[in-house]
Amino acid sequence: GPFRWAALSGDPADIAATDKAILELFPDNERLRKWITMAGERVAFQGLPARICWLGYGERHLAGLKFNEMVASGELKAPIV
């Protein structure tokens, strides 16, 4: 289903980092790769930087865990919601 997230830091670099993480988590999902790449190039942020993509139930769980790890390690400047 749809999986949405926003960078509370307000820094687009945090979304770029999560985009990279999503592509690394699901390297065989070509549709996801196309979408994330296109969104990074063409979708302008309004307000807090955010992203949406389509992930399966188990995939959303893995993405959430990865984002939590990135926040805890300091790779992201602030939490992702």
Domain boundaries in the chain?
Answer: 2-73
What gap in Å lies between CA 42 and CA 12, rounded to an integer?
Answer: 13
Q: Could you say which of 6, 15, 17, 53 is catalytic?
A: 53
Give the pLDDT band of residue 66 (cuts 50, 70, 90): very high
Give yes or no: 1 in active site: no
Q: What's the predicted TM-score (pTM) here?
A: 0.94
Amino acid at residue number 34:
K
Model pLDDT for residues 28-62, shown as the tens digit of each residue: 999 999 999 999 999 999 999 999 999 998 999 99
On whether the CB atoms of residues 79 and 41 are closer than 8 A, the answer is no
Which letter, b or e, does each residue of 4-35 get, where b requires 16 or more Cβ atoms within 10 Å of its Cβ?
A: ebbbbbeeeebbebbbebbeeebeebeebeeb
Residue 49: DSSP 8-state:
-
Token couple for 68 = 């939590």
Q: What mean pLDDT, rounded, does the chain reach? A: 97
